[in-house]
């Protein structure tokens, strides 16, 4: 999808574009487009429009030319309009006109296709069936190829998630944010909380602030991490995000932890 010049795509019966296409067409860095999307999602959440956010902004992944998996967003026409609204340079206006025309063209093409879906003769039905089978086979082959490319990475993530206890996850989270150095601690916590909010379409900062402001709320919490853990019961989900963001650091910490545990068990066995 991201390697051609197409602007609008059909997915599950909906017309969408994505953050990579916006970055290309509006001549922006992808990370800046993601920041714009994050900002709009937060504004929607603050306006109690979580449902609109969930239906129109869909977080997904893509594989770059080096075979690495990164985050992107799929956007409906409505979501695209919200993001593009703030782009007002002459070049941006040209890009917006291109998108509007393409959304209209694709919508008309889908309508025309739907009118001609039903075959009128046995021969047409048979040919349509053959075409559909061939298309399904190609999709299945493409899917298997993509699965092969990311299976190893997913296996690593699953191993790092499923085999670690809740207490160990909490310990690793605290250590992994310090892994980049003291000057990076705040940035790493910020990125973790940002990705958590995007994944679950919520404003974590606002929720945490409201919870703390009510003195009757229990349990008492003193950090966003404690709020996610004790109030939302989503520490494993935050840990999984950390595994994807800081995979190598988490792998190193898990290895150290198991090596320490193994050494302790050997010492205990020798004493006994």
Per-residue pLDDT of the chain (272 residues), as tens digits, is: 444 578 998 888 789 999 999 999 999 999 999 999 999 999 999 888 889 999 999 998 998 888 888 899 999 999 999 999 889 888 889 988 999 898 888 888 877 766 655 566 666 666 666 677 777 777 777 666 655 555 444 444 444 445 567 888 888 888 888 887 777 888 889 988 998 998 888 889 888 999 989 988 989 988 999 999 999 999 989 988 888 888 888 888 877 776 655 544 444 444 44
Query: Do 107 and 173 belong to one domain?
Result: no
Is 176 in the same domain as 87?
Answer: no
Please check whether residue 225 lies inside any domain of the structure.
Answer: yes
Structural domain contains residue 40: yes
Shared-domain flag, residues 172 and 263: yes
Q: What is the dihedral of CA 36, 195, 200, 29, to 10 degrees?
A: 30
Pair 229, 170: CB distance under 8 Å: yes
**Distance between CA atoms of 98 and 110, rounded to whole angstroms?**
18
Answer yes or no: do 170 and 111 share one domain.
no
Could you give the CA distance from residue 130 to residue 140 in angstroms, rounded to a whole number?
15
- 105 and 13 within one domain: yes
Domain contains 142: no
Indicate if 236 and 169 belong to the same structural domain: yes
Q: Is residue 152 one of the residues assigned to a domain?
A: no
Last residue within a domain, chosen from 59, 94, 117: 117
Of 49, 82, 117, which residue sits at a domain end? 117
Give CA torsion, residues 73, 74, 76, 82, to 10 deg.
20
In a domain, 123, yes or no: no
Q: Is residue 130 part of a domain?
A: no
In the chain the first and final C-alpha atoms are separated, in Å, by 62
Place of tokens 């988490």: 250
Judge if 83 and 180 occupy the same domain.
Answer: no
Domain contains 86: yes
Residues 25 and 101 both lie in one domain = yes
- Is residue 169 domain-shared with residue 267, that is, in the same domain? yes
- Report yes or no on 3 lying in a domain: no
Cβ atoms of 10 and 110 within 8 Å: the answer is: yes
pTM: 0.55
Counted residue by residue, the chain has a size of 272
Other Cβ atoms closer than 10 A to 15: 18
Q: In sequence order, what are the beta bridge partners of 70?
A: 62
- Note whether 125 and 33 are within 8 A (CB): no
Structural domain of 198: 164-271
Contact 23, 30 (CB under 8 A): yes
Answer yes or no: do 22 and 83 share one domain: yes
Is residue 38 within 8 Å of 194, Cβ to Cβ? yes
**Domains of the chain: total:** 2
């Amino acid at each position: 999808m991201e390697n051609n010049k197409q602007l609008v795509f059909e997915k599950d019966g909906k017309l969408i574009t994505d953050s990579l296409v916006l970055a290309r067409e509006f001549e922006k860095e992808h990370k800046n487009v993601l920041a714009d999307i994050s900002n709009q999602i937060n504004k929607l959440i603050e306006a109690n429009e979580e449902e609109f956010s969930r239906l129109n902004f869909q977080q997904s992944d893509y594989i770059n030319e080096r075979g690495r998996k990164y985050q992107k967003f799929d956007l409906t026409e409505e979501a695209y309009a919200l993001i593009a609204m703030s782009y007002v340079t002459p070049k941006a206006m040209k890009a917006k006109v291109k998108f509007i025309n393409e959304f209209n063209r694709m919508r008309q093409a889908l309508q025309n296709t739907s009118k001609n879906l039903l075959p009128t003769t046995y021969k047409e039905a048979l040919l349509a069936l053959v075409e559909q089978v061939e298309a399904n086979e190609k999709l299945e082959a493409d899917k298997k190829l993509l699965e092969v490319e990311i299976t190893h990475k997913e296996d690593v993530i699953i191993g790092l998630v499923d085999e670690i206890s809740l207490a160990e996850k909490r310990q690793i989270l605290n250590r992994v944010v310090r892994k980049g150095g003291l000057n990076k601690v705040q940035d790493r916590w910020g990125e973790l909380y940002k990705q958590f909010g995007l994944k679950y379409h919520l404003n974590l900062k606002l929720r945490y602030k409201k919870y703390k402001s009510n003195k009757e709320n229990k349990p008492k919490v003193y950090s966003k991490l404690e709020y996610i853990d004790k109030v939302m019961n989503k520490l494993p989900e935050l840990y999984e995000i950390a595994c994807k963001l800081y995979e190598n650091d988490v792998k190193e910490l898990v290895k150290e932890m198991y090596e320490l545990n193994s050494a302790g068990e050997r010492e205990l066995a020798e004493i006994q």
